[in-house]
Amino acid sequence: MGEILSNYDVLAAFWGTIKLSLLGTFGALVLGTIVAVLRLSPVRVFQWIGSWYVNTFRNTPLTLLMVFSILGLTFILGLQLNTQDLNSNAFRWAAVMLAVYHGAFICEALRSGVNTVPAGQAEAARAIGLTFGQSMQHVLLPQAFRGSIAPIGSTIIALIKNSTVAAVIGGGEAANLMSTVIENEGSRFSVFLVFAIGFVILTLPLGLFFTSMSRRLAVKR
Chain positions 18 to 37 lying near other proteins, rule: CB under 8 A, are none
Which one of the spans 1-9, 19-27, 38-46, 84-92 is the region binding other proteins (CB under 8 A)? 38-46
State which of positions 71-100 bind other proteins (CB under 8 A).
71-72, 75-79
Are the beta carbons of 57 and 68 closer than 8 angstroms?
Answer: no
Which one of the spans 4-12, 19-27, 83-91, 182-190 is the region binding other proteins (CB under 8 A)? 182-190
The residue from 43, 128, 129, 221 that contacts other proteins (CB under 8 A) is 43
Provide, rounded to whole angstroms, the least separation between the CB of residue 191 and other proteins. Answer: 7
Instruction: Specify the residue, 82 or 121, whose C-beta has the smaller distance to other proteins.
Output: 121
CA dihedral 103, 108, 110, 111 (to 10 degrees): 140
From CA 22, how far away is CA 207, in angstroms rounded?
16
Provide, rounded to whole angstroms, the least separation between the CB of residue 26 and other proteins. Answer: 16
Cα angle for residues 63, 38, 58 (degrees, 5° grid) = 20
Residue 157 is a binding residue for other proteins (CB under 8 A): yes
State which of positions 188-207 bind other proteins (CB under 8 A).
191-192, 195-196, 199-200, 203-204, 206-207
The contacts of residue 155 (CB under 8 Å, 6+ apart) are: 28, 102, 105, 106, 109
- Distances 100 to 21, 29, 55, 110, 172 between C-alpha atoms, Å: 13, 10, 12, 16, 19
Residue 102 is a binding residue for other proteins (CB under 8 A): yes
The residue from 22, 81, 86, 122 that contacts other proteins (CB under 8 A) is 122
Instruction: Specify the residue, 92 or 111, whose C-beta has the smaller distance to other proteins.
Output: 111
CA dihedral 212, 213, 215, 216 (to 10 degrees): 110
From CA 221, how far away is CA 219, in angstroms rounded?
6
The residue from 15, 51, 58, 145 that contacts other proteins (CB under 8 A) is 58
The residue from 4, 108, 146, 172 that contacts other proteins (CB under 8 A) is 108
Residue 2 is a binding residue for other proteins (CB under 8 A): no
Cβ count within 10 A of residue 64: 14
